Amino acid sequence: MAAKVGVGLLGLGTVGGGVASILQNPDERHPLVGELELIRVAVRDLNRPRPVALDASLLTTDPSAVIQDPAVDVVVEVIGGLEPARSLILQAIAAGKSVVTANKAVIARHGQEITEAAAAAGVYVLIEAAVGGGIPIIEPLKQSLGGNRINRVSGIINGTTNYILTRMAEEGAAYDAVLKDAQELGYAEADPAADVDGLDAADKIAILATLAFGGSVDRAAVPTEGISGLQGVDVDYANQLGYGVKLLAVAERMAVSGDPLPLSLRVQPTLVPMDHPLAGVNGVNNAILVEGDPIGRVMFYGPGAGAGPTASAVVADILNIAGIRQASDGPGKVDPLLAAGSWRPCALADSGDIRQRHYVRFKTKDAPGVIGNVGGCFGERNVSIQSIVQFNASDAGAEIVVITHEVSQRQMNEALEAIQALPEVSGLAAHLGCL
Amino acid sequence: MAAKVGVGLLGLGTVGGGVASILQNPDERHPLVGELELIRVAVRDLNRPRPVALDASLLTTDPSAVIQDPAVDVVVEVIGGLEPARSLILQAIAAGKSVVTANKAVIARHGQEITEAAAAAGVYVLIEAAVGGGIPIIEPLKQSLGGNRINRVSGIINGTTNYILTRMAEEGAAYDAVLKDAQELGYAEADPAADVDGLDAADKIAILATLAFGGSVDRAAVPTEGISGLQGVDVDYANQLGYGVKLLAVAERMAVSGDPLPLSLRVQPTLVPMDHPLAGVNGVNNAILVEGDPIGRVMFYGPGAGAGPTASAVVADILNIAGIRQASDGPGKVDPLLAAGSWRPCALADSGDIRQRHYVRFKTKDAPGVIGNVGGCFGERNVSIQSIVQFNASDAGAEIVVITHEVSQRQMNEALEAIQALPEVSGLAAHLGCL
């Protein structure tokens, strides 16, 4: 057997503890796990109680001591946040160490800088745990689907919001009440913005897009809408019409080719037909659908968060680095699939060009002919409608729900403007995507 | 960029044609596809019309000429069948070439011989296309889940039978009629035995078990039951009770550890609860569920057959070999994750020890108390029942359907023997598994 592979951990929270626990208990796992040796662990406070029993001599409060330890071959960054995580990753690369990180925020914003530094140093930065928790999605995208022209990657990639949406659908509960519950159960943070505003999902879809299409995009420019404005009535109407509502993240190519390749990325609450593979993804589970040519459509499903699943993904990356070391004579040369550098420029397309189906709900006066007038406005702007249904008609007014066929955002906006100008329409109460 | 990687194809049928087509059209795929060069192709008949246009100088009727060509680095075997496929794979290994194959029959029966030969020669034999068509399942099992103790791998891994079962469920159609249709549509072979008798699924679950548990099992000893004896009435009753019927392949560990590790493998028609992730897998799609610690449960879903998906999987394997070549200085040393040799002995457990839920249907005389007597027989043998329902009662008799909780095969057999001895029971009309 080859020499042991030294692992240095930056952070010993739930994920770091899960990783240490696997490394300390290699039995019944792949035998290569037994070749990994935990060398040093950087923590913030030496005296805090730990989820795993570690020899005190392994602990340090100095992350640099872990990175620079000559016995450490692979640095695992599970601190989270932008800094000092980004600097520590770059420091590890500069020291010639491969890096494994679960840090989607850093990779979504500084992935290009980090990948270029890793390529120059001939080391790997692996990120399986950054998207989809334990679900193998990064490695399959990099190593198993390269023969395809990828056309779209979409999915449910935030467990917190999916938990909230599942309970809203199952119990008819209001958003605020479920969020409060989720916070008490530990499924949502005290400050839930990163999850419920879609920022976490936007980080992740930006990462998936880079791997699927070979170039990075401007993370800050990804149109992102969360679920905090979602009303229970729309979940209810969607169910009645045969759809579930999911916070969907989408990355798709807008053309067969291009330099730069035009992409559409977005995060938005979206109606999903009940017989669609994503509709059955409930609770904190995640699922990612990859569509390509010639493969067609494949889906990856599983636990999107949690110490165990995330640790499984981190250890997978460490194993990949350990495995490839046995095939190579030394550092400096890397497997281009595993290293996954960018290979071409990509750019976000004009959002007006994005084509999809839409769900909209209008509040209207209960005037005769209102359905006809709304339908007419759509027709005049060439927005083809799949269904138009009136709900809750009363003296106070009614609600009209429209599901369109696929149209451009530009056409849709023009139609919505015209409809909101109709005297019998009091307002646009909801506007969601629809698969 | 590194030198081109030479590819030799053995076979140019639908899968081989799909592979050639990807290699000839690298645009918009991973740039490494452009580094693959199709060197030679062995076909049976030089004059047969081909799905792809290939320079006639590439073709030969001599597979050895492909294998021995010094420009060929990777040999792709897509001939199928046991011989000459096995001998050609071994010949390629002996020539120091890595091999990519879609041949589940050869790998399920001769996998150990082939893997050992590959390890001795320091080359890879990759088999992503052998299970699950285009679905990445082999690479994730080998490279992404190694940190886990895998407890169970199960799934729908034969597209033909899933197509037949889907149509039986949706149309209430009889097995024979749907099979005839499937044959006319090209979804089933003229001799459908390999699919409908479960033999193809048994090959595939034997392969998955070897990867998940680290040792091979005796393929011939895998309990295998197909769908040719399945009656429409049981699909119908299962639906009424909230289940779909799927041809499920299962491989699970029977103990936390062991030397050899005891495994249960089986292929059988199985009731799947409607809210189970596998229940929604319809038509020719496949899905594989992997359960492990600490990951929990992940599922891989997609097209289980077809030229495009299978070619995608073959090209993935070629890319992996090409990628790792760039990280290593030469042949001889391999990545143990990718090479995936056995690491311990496994053995099939006594089938009497297999524990699962059961669905059974009895034909009975419509005598008073028959439900009580059947239920009593189960109770006396400690077989705990979840539901017992009478269908189709008439003067001619009735049918009683029982779904048990989890029991050993041994207990179940004893109970069934006792029940069939009851005077009011005319016979056991159906016996399926149940998730």
Higher pLDDT, B51 or B422: B422
Does residue A210 fall inside a structural domain? yes
Q: Are residues A265 and A328 in the same domain?
A: no
A297-327: pLDDT as tens digits? 999 999 998 899 999 999 999 999 999 999 8
What's the whole-number mean pLDDT along residues B255-259? 94
Closest-CA residue of B relative to A141 is: B136
| pLDDT band with cut points at 50, 70 and 90 for residue B186 | confident
Residue with tokens 């705990």: B384
CB under 8 Å to A418, separation ≥6 — which residues?
A377, A380, A381
B243 has a pLDDT exceeding 70: yes
| pLDDT band with cut points at 50, 70 and 90 for residue A392 | confident
Does residue A206 fall inside a structural domain? yes
Of residues B134, B145, B343, nearest to A316 (C-beta): B145
Residue with tokens 């996954």: A340
Q: Which of A251, A248, A252 is nearest to A225 (CA)?
A: A248
Does residue A12 fall inside a structural domain? yes
Answer with the one of B237, B269, B302 that is the final residue of a domain.
B302
| pLDDT band with cut points at 50, 70 and 90 for residue B334 | very high
What's the whole-number mean pLDDT along residues A356-363? 97
Q: Which CATH number do you get for residue B430?
A: 3.30.70.260
Beta strand pairing call for B243-253 and B261-273: antiparallel
DSSP secondary structure string for all residues of B179-236? HHHHHHTTSS-SS-HHHHTSHHHHHHHHHHHHHHHSS---GGGS-B--STT--HHHHH
Q: Are residues B45 and B154 in the same domain?
A: no
B425-435: pLDDT as tens digits? 999 999 999 99
Q: Are residues A11 and A82 in the same domain?
A: yes
Residue B1 pLDDT: 45
Of residues B147, B302, B309, nearest to A299 (C-beta): B302
Q: Are residues A298 and A321 in the same domain?
A: no
- The C-alpha of A355 sits at a distance from chain B's nearest C-alpha, in angstroms, of 21
Q: Are residues B251 and B318 in the same domain?
A: no
The two structure tokens encoding residue A12? 């010993």
Q: Which CATH number do you get for residue A86?
A: 3.40.50.720
Closest-CA residue of A relative to B151 is: A28
In this predicted structure, which of A240-244, B52-56, B137-141, B155-159 has the lowest mean pLDDT? B52-56
Asked whether the beta carbons of residue B312 and residue A306 sit closer than 8 angstroms, the reply is: no
Question: For chain A, what is the mean pLDDT?
Answer: 94
B41-85: pLDDT as tens digits? 999 999 888 888 899 999 999 999 999 999 999 999 999 999 999
Does residue A349 fall inside a structural domain? no
Residues from chain A contacting residue B155 (CB–CB below 8 Å): none
- Report the alpha-carbon distance of residue B298 to residue A295 in Å, rounded: 20
> What Rg, from alpha-carbon coordinates, does chain B have?
24
Q: Which CATH number do you get for residue B200?
A: 3.30.360.10
A2 has a pLDDT exceeding 80: no
Does residue A119 fall inside a structural domain? yes
A235 has a pLDDT exceeding 90: yes
Best A15, A30, A76, A289 member to test B by mutation, with max B CBs in 10 Å, is: A30
Beta strand pairing call for A98-101 and A125-126: parallel
What's the whole-number mean pLDDT along residues A394-409? 92
What is the number of domains present in chain A? 3
Does residue A177 fall inside a structural domain? yes
Residue A28 pLDDT: 94
Residues from chain A contacting residue B308 (CB–CB below 8 Å): 293-296
| pLDDT band with cut points at 50, 70 and 90 for residue B369 | confident
Is residue B256 classed as helix, strand or coil in its secondary structure? Answer: coil
- The C-alpha of A253 sits at a distance from chain B's nearest C-alpha, in angstroms, of 11
Residue B65 pLDDT: 98
Cis before B49 (ω within 30): no
A139-155: pLDDT as tens digits? 999 999 999 999 999 99
Best A24, A98, A148, A346 member to test B by mutation, with max B CBs in 10 Å, is: A148
Residues from chain A contacting residue B146 (CB–CB below 8 Å): 29-30, 32-33, 315-316, 319
Q: Are residues B191 and B125 in the same domain?
A: no
Q: Are residues A406 and A288 in the same domain?
A: no
Residue B331 pLDDT: 64
Q: Which of B334, B143, B320 is nearest to A324 (CA)?
A: B334
Phi-psi region of A397 (alpha: psi -120 to 50; beta: other; left: phi over 0): left
- The C-alpha of A325 sits at a distance from chain B's nearest C-alpha, in angstroms, of 7
| pLDDT band with cut points at 50, 70 and 90 for residue A238 | very high
Q: Are residues B223 and B257 in the same domain?
A: yes
A267-298: pLDDT as tens digits? 999 999 998 999 999 999 999 999 999 999 99
Closest-CA residue of A relative to B150 is: A29
Q: Are residues B191 and B52 in the same domain?
A: no
Closest-CA residue of B relative to A336 is: B323
A104 in catalytic set? no
Answer with the one of B289, B319, B345 that is the final residue of a domain.
B345
φ, ψ at B104 (rounded to 5°): -65, -35
Q: Are residues B332 and B373 in the same domain?
A: no
Element of type H or E holding B59 = strand B59-60
Q: Are residues A165 and A288 in the same domain?
A: yes
Domain ranges, residue B428 = 352-434
Q: Are residues B341 and B356 in the same domain?
A: no
Answer with the one of B291, B324, B345 that is the final residue of a domain.
B345
Question: For chain B, what is the mean pLDDT?
Answer: 94
- Report the alpha-carbon distance of residue A282 to residue A167 in Å, rounded: 9
For residue A224, give the DSSP letter.
B
A332-355: pLDDT as tens digits? 789 999 999 899 999 999 999 999
What's the whole-number mean pLDDT along residues A171-189? 90
Residues from chain A contacting residue B166 (CB–CB below 8 Å): none
Does residue A250 fall inside a structural domain? yes
Measure the CA dihedral B49/B55/B60/B66, to 10°.
-130
Residue A330 pLDDT: 66
B385 has a pLDDT exceeding 90: yes
Catalytic residue, chosen from A204, A246, A333, A363, is A204
A1 has a pLDDT exceeding 60: no
What's the whole-number mean pLDDT along residues B385-400? 89
Burial bucket for residue A380 (CB in 10 Å: 0-12, 13-18, 19+): exposed
B345-359: pLDDT as tens digits? 999 999 999 999 999
- Report the alpha-carbon distance of residue B364 to residue B424 in Å, rounded: 6
Q: Which residues of B are catalytic?
A: 204
Of residues B149, B324, B337, nearest to A28 (C-beta): B149
- For residues A122 and A128, is the Cβ–Cβ distance under 8 A? no
What's the whole-number mean pLDDT along residues A82-89? 97
- The C-alpha of A70 sits at a distance from chain B's nearest C-alpha, in angstroms, of 22
Residues from chain B contacting residue A306 (CB–CB below 8 Å): 296
Does residue A279 fall inside a structural domain? yes
